Chains A and B, each alone.
Chain A
Amino acid sequence: MSALPLRFLPVLVRREHASLAIKLLAPPVAVGLATLLNFGLYLLMGRDPAAVFHAMLLEPFLSWASFSEVLLKMGPLLLIAQGLAIGFRAKVFNIGAEGQFILGAIFASAIPIWLPQATGQWIWPSMLLLGALGGSLWASLTAFWRVRLNANEILVSLMLALVAAQLLNYLLLGPWKDPAGFNFPQSVMFQYDAMVPILIPGTRVNVSLLIASALSLAAWLFMQRSFAGYKLQVGGLAPRAAAYAGFNEGRAIWISFLIGGFAAGLAGAAEVAGPLGQLQRSISTGYGYAAIIVAYLGGLHPIGIVFSALLMAALYIGGDNAMVSANLPVAAVRVFQGSLLLAYLVAIAFVRYRLEWRHAAQGSAP
């Protein structure tokens, strides 16, 4: 090798011990890296980066009004991501939370749509429960396909998410369409008792954020302190050891999907019984997919996920701001989300590896 730049090549070398410091640093580094890349893109698109930066990354935190919207968006992301992370740690990949979210919304909407005259404080809690049940049922289809039929859970759960979107369309264009709704694909507005109570007066933040926080605590207890959670983690880290120890793989898959579906369904129910107040086509702006990123960015750890859910919620609100004030297309948020996960995957590699510059000849020898 005569060319100078090729004399030393970067090689990833496994560390003796995984670095906790880098594990903690990886998410902020990833955010920085993704921000840098995306603002380069905005510059190429001819947008003023300073204006986008202000609208997208600062404004969500600058006023109570917009921060409360961030908290509102955080609820569903936090719920879904906590559920997904439990499965991901067991290496059970539920990619179809979007569908479980939609089914949760549909199941919850059944009560106010079928009983529009009903009153009483039992309505919204029953809607949340029914939504969680709907999400679990939809997720259990995938679990059954995986455990009984050996089918890949990634593909099945994703296909079911696409089917769920069509099911929602069918209901909103057909039997559940608001007859007085000028033919818009949406249901009737729900009655007052079908709405989740407001948590912080003067904002739209409702009790579902409290539920999401409580379930985050429950997720932490389950994963870090319970034997069932331990079995799931062993199954993910060392499947063979788990099999020798007699930990049942099928059970791990069922638990992962039921929990993931429960959380996503609950989130869907809380969306229609919360800020939306009706079943609409746009009940989810990709929460199910964004939550996958939230789960990874939070290191699949219940506490980390609280922070990453807050960040992702801010990104949604910031993206909306930037659309209005800096003329940035909504799709930019999706680009940011994708690059954020990629940046995180690069950063997290350095937890287990370090970069070493090796002589080219030496580096290529087996």
Chain B
Amino acid sequence: MNALEFIVAGMLAAATPFLLAALGEMVAERAGVLNLGVEGLMALGAVIAFIIVYHGGGHLLGFLAAGLASAALSLVFAVIALGFRANQVAAGLAIGILGQGLSALFGKSYESLTVKGLPKLSLPWLSDIPVIGGLFAQDVVVWLSLAATVAIWAIFAYTKTGLVVRAVGENPKAAHALGYPVIAVRFAAVAFGGVLAGFAGAYAAVVYTPLWADGMIAGRGWIAIALVVFGTWLTSRIFLGACLFGAVSLASLAAQATGLDVSSQLLSSLPYIVTIVVLGIISSNRRLLKLNGVASLGEPFEQ
């Protein structure tokens, strides 16, 4: 398998943690809530899923529990940021620190243990195509994540639910005047983001690299938040961005495997550097951000 085939085959799996977490954050931000705790939510989901799978609970239960745990933690964020109208930046950071702390605490006796990942499900015919065939052999979570991406895109494009979430984020006062429960919608959006962050962490810990190590999320939660900006709050562009980051992280692996003489630290920091560069390029287009940005992002709502 050459480097290109390796990247094509693995890109979607590598992209999945980014994709799930970023889509969750996008939904919360569309409703006007900036949740900076994604890194901690992912870390908590990861450790919960790992513990359950390690003790033989199975992947399904692991994912469900991870989603629930991260949703619960994201609701703590919602109570403080929305209920008590705290500074969302500070509340998100606190949730992030708390989630990472809990993750390290629960995972302490599981350090360096491994579990079994998930088998690949191949699409007939398509997965036999040379070079790009690997793209069509993915595990079930990747397939479901792709389905979820399409579903979220459709919800925002075609349904009233999507419209209400956007209205609450764009102009909460108007949404409230029309009779929509602004705070309830925001709570739901944050909880949804929590569930997806939990799934993202679970995927990272029990499918993508089924090995427990403290700090294994390694900034992916933060990159997911950046992806929402790259994708200018649009599902399709966030999907493309997640694929880019999947490819970047695989490219550094491939480079190491082919014995390219680049320091491994430079390769490890490649995703962060790419984030910084792309963030600069996208953000300098102020019109683009203004056009697609969420008007009330991060601002508390008072009736």
Tell me the total A-B contact number using a CB cutoff of 8 A.
150
Q: In the assembled complex, which residues on chain A have CB atoms less than 8 Å from the CB atom of B225? A: 155
Rounded to whole Å, the gap between the CB of A78 and the closest CB of chain B is 19
A162, A336, A349 pick with most chain B CB within 10 angstroms: A162
**Could you list 9 A-B pairs, sorted by A, with CB under 8 Å?**
A149-B283, A150-B289, A151-B276, A156-B279, A292-B90, A329-B104, A338-B98, A346-B80, A366-B303
Contact between A150 and B286 (Cβ–Cβ < 8 Å)?
yes
Pick from B93, B97, B279: contact of A155, CB under 8 Å? B279
Pick from A155, A337, A353: contact of B275, CB under 8 Å? A155
Contact between A338 and B273 (Cβ–Cβ < 8 Å)?
no
Contact between A345 and B86 (Cβ–Cβ < 8 Å)?
yes
Pick from A145, A162, A348: contact of B279, CB under 8 Å? A145
Known: A145-B276, A338-B95. A155 touches B229 (CB 8 A): yes
A156, A341, A342, A348 pick with most chain B CB within 10 angstroms: A342
Given contacts A150-B284, A159-B219, 11 further A-B contacts (CB under 8 A): A156-B280, A158-B222, A159-B275, A163-B272, A163-B276, A167-B265, A289-B97, A293-B94, A337-B101, A345-B87, A366-B176
- Interface presence of A339 (CB below 8 A): yes
- Interface presence of B268 (CB below 8 A): yes
Rounded to whole Å, the gap between the CB of B204 and the closest CB of chain A is 16
Name the residue on B nearest A340 (C-beta): B94
Q: In the assembled complex, which residues on chain B have CB atoms less than 8 Å from the CB atom of A149? A: 279-281, 283-284
Rounded to whole Å, the gap between the CB of A284 and the closest CB of chain B is 14
Kindly list the 6 A-B residue pairs having the minimum CB-CB distance in the complex, ordered from nearest: A338-B98, A334-B101, A331-B104, A335-B101, A341-B94, A338-B97
Rounded to whole Å, the gap between the CB of A52 and the closest CB of chain B is 13
Bin the interface of chain B by size: 35 or more
> How many angstroms from the CA of A247 to the CA of B89 in the assembled complex?
24
Rounded to whole Å, the gap between the CB of B52 and the closest CB of chain A is 18
> How many angstroms from the CA of A296 to the CA of B89 in the assembled complex?
11
> How many angstroms from the CA of A150 to the CA of B285 in the assembled complex?
8
Contact between B86 and A346 (Cβ–Cβ < 8 Å)?
yes
- Interface presence of B266 (CB below 8 A): yes
Of A109-117, A168-176, A249-257, the one touching chain B = A168-176
Q: In the assembled complex, which residues on chain A have CB atoms less than 8 Å from the CB atom of B223? A: 159
> How many angstroms from the CA of A257 to the CA of B223 in the assembled complex?
22
- Interface presence of A226 (CB below 8 A): no
Rounded to whole Å, the gap between the CB of A223 and the closest CB of chain B is 18
Q: In the assembled complex, which residues on chain B have CB atoms less than 8 Å from the CB atom of A148? A: 284
Name the residue on A nearest B280 (C-beta): A149
Rounded to whole Å, the gap between the CB of A352 and the closest CB of chain B is 8
Q: In the assembled complex, which residues on chain B have CB atoms less than 8 Å from the CB atom of A155? A: 222, 225-226, 229, 275, 279
- Interface presence of A121 (CB below 8 A): no
> How many angstroms from the CA of A296 to the CA of B97 in the assembled complex?
14
Contact between A335 and B93 (Cβ–Cβ < 8 Å)?
no
Contact between B97 and A341 (Cβ–Cβ < 8 Å)?
yes
Q: In the assembled complex, which residues on chain B have CB atoms less than 8 Å from the CB atom of A169? A: 265
Q: In the assembled complex, which residues on chain A have CB atoms less than 8 Å from the CB atom of B66? A: none
- Interface presence of A166 (CB below 8 A): yes
Majority-rule SS of A interface residues? helix
Pick from A152, A154, A329, A345: contact of B105, CB under 8 Å? A329
Known: A173-B265, A366-B303. A346 touches B283 (CB 8 A): no
Known: A169-B265, A338-B97, A341-B90. A154 touches B36 (CB 8 A): yes
A187-201 CB contacts (< 8 Å) to partner B: none
Name the residue on A nearest B96 (C-beta): A338
Known: A12-B85, A149-B284, A150-B289. A331 touches B269 (CB 8 A): no
Pick from B90, B103, B218, B280: contact of A145, CB under 8 Å? B280
Contact between A166 and B269 (Cβ–Cβ < 8 Å)?
yes
Known: A150-B283, A170-B266. A349 touches B97 (CB 8 A): no
- Interface presence of A322 (CB below 8 A): no
> How many angstroms from the CA of A12 to the CA of B303 in the assembled complex?
10
Name the residue on B nearest A45 (C-beta): B105
> How many angstroms from the CA of A353 to the CA of B302 in the assembled complex?
11
B85, B90, B176, B303 pick with most chain A CB within 10 angstroms: B90
B241-297 CB contacts (< 8 Å) to partner A: 263, 265-266, 268-269, 272-273, 275-276, 279-281, 283-284, 286, 289
Name the residue on B nearest A174 (C-beta): B263
Rounded to whole Å, the gap between the CB of A254 and the closest CB of chain B is 17
Q: In the assembled complex, which residues on chain B have CB atoms less than 8 Å from the CB atom of A310? A: none
> How many angstroms from the CA of A352 to the CA of B4 in the assembled complex?
58
- Interface presence of B158 (CB below 8 A): no
Q: In the assembled complex, which residues on chain B have CB atoms less than 8 Å from the CB atom of A332? A: 101, 105
Contact between A342 and B284 (Cβ–Cβ < 8 Å)?
no
> How many angstroms from the CA of A296 to the CA of B93 in the assembled complex?
11
- Could you mark each residue 310-347 of chain A with 1 if its beta carbon is under 8 Å from any beta carbon of chain B, else 0? 00000000000000000001111111111101100110
- Interface presence of B108 (CB below 8 A): yes
> How many angstroms from the CA of A245 to the CA of B97 in the assembled complex?
38
Known: A337-B101, A345-B84. A292 touches B93 (CB 8 A): yes
> How many angstroms from the CA of A256 to the CA of B224 in the assembled complex?
26
> How many angstroms from the CA of A145 to the CA of B279 in the assembled complex?
9
- Interface presence of B99 (CB below 8 A): yes
Rounded to whole Å, the gap between the CB of A154 and the closest CB of chain B is 7
Q: In the assembled complex, which residues on chain B have CB atoms less than 8 Å from the CB atom of A353? A: 84-85
- Interface presence of A160 (CB below 8 A): yes
Contact between A162 and B269 (Cβ–Cβ < 8 Å)?
yes
Known: A152-B229, A329-B104, A331-B105. A160 touches B265 (CB 8 A): no
